[in-house]
Amino acid sequence: MQKKIYIAAPAYTASGGPELLHQLCYKLNKFGFCAQMLYYTYGEGKSSIENPIHPHYEVYKNPYTISFEEANSEEAIVIIPELAIDLINHIKKSQNMIWWLSVDNFYGYVDIMYKKDIRKEENVDIFKLKDSNILHLVQSCYAMDFVEKRLGIAKEKVYYLSDYLRKDFEVKKDIMSRKDYCLYNPQKGFDKVLHIMSKNPKIIWLPIENMTPKQVVDLMSEAKVYVDFGNHPGKDRIPREAAMRGCCVITNKAGSAAYEEDVPIPEKYKFEDIYKSGENIVYLINDIYQNFESHKREFDAYRKKIEEEESIFDADVLKIFGEFANE
């Protein structure tokens, strides 16, 4: 007998995490498993429950339910993102798997919901996960370290399941000359970006915000540089998307960016302290502008690894759920 699989996701929400949750549901059904989305909402938002699918994810055509009673069954597996970890208190009969799509966002969630800053505390297992039968999926090596070392979860309960990019960001040959643009996400480390801006007002900075996926693709196809000085709570999508569209990527060493396995770009494009490295970063950006093709080649190995992510994801999905969904 095969267990049903439910993937919990916030209703009518579009971002990197929900995208991955929808991708997993799509893949599971493609491989012959019985999977559907389990939408939840934090507020009264009745309209979002009546229309829970964000337009960005209609392409996956995933079946869905909003019934927790349906998912709360011994014949079910429920995938719960770390930002909805409280759902384990409402779904107790099923085999629950927490999918750690981020670490830092989880810290923020606990801080907001429980008024408790656990970043520097020795005991961060406030949900008593260590002694439960819950299994854990991790999207990054950064998350794996957190789950095994900070939460103290046994290795045999932890499974690596990362992600992959949509086809929108596949590598295509440049058909136009690139411009000396430096892109950034204003939601990620904007104070540090402002510091670099002040070092050289001549650099043209363009924010990635309020854009459709196609507009993002088009902008990345024009630019030469993308910088990300945020906290890198998981294996972030935008740096990979930028690289796949031909940009050179510059990061700090926070969160997953400190892990070679998660952000495998050459070390000279990573900076430990953005404020102390301002002049060096400006110099690097200008050098990329002047010698773009040679810098772009330095990211070939990164792009190749990104291209292989979907096949690795497929294999991991088949292995993990072949073990737990089939009885």
Reference 182, options 222, 209, 217, 211; nearest CA is 222
Same domain, 191 and 140: no
Same domain, 129 and 172: no
Same domain, 138 and 10: yes
User: What is the span of the domain harbouring residue 109?
Assistant: 4-163
Same domain, 158 and 195: no
Reference 309, options 35, 7, 27, 58; nearest CA is 27
Same domain, 158 and 190: no
Domain count along the chain: 2
What pTM value is reported for the model?
0.90
Spell out the per-residue pLDDT of the chain, length 327, in tens: 799 999 999 998 888 789 999 999 999 999 999 999 999 986 544 445 778 999 989 999 999 999 999 999 999 999 999 999 989 988 999 999 999 999 988 888 777 676 667 677 666 777 788 778 899 999 999 999 999 998 899 999 999 999 999 876 566 656 568 999 999 999 999 999 999 999 999 999 999 999 988 899 999 999 999 999 999 999 999 999 999 999 999 999 999 999 999 999 999 999 999 999 999 999 999 999 999 999 999 999 999 999 999 999 999 999 999 999 987
Is residue 315 in some structural domain? Answer: no
Same domain, 119 and 32: yes
CATH for 109:
3.40.50
Same domain, 24 and 62: yes
Same domain, 229 and 281: yes
Q: Which residues fall within 8 angstroms of residue 124, CB to CB, at 6 or more apart? A: 118, 150, 151
Amino acid occupying residue 208? I
Same domain, 10 and 76: yes
Same domain, 103 and 227: no
Same domain, 111 and 18: yes
Is residue 313 in some structural domain? Answer: no
Same domain, 153 and 176: no
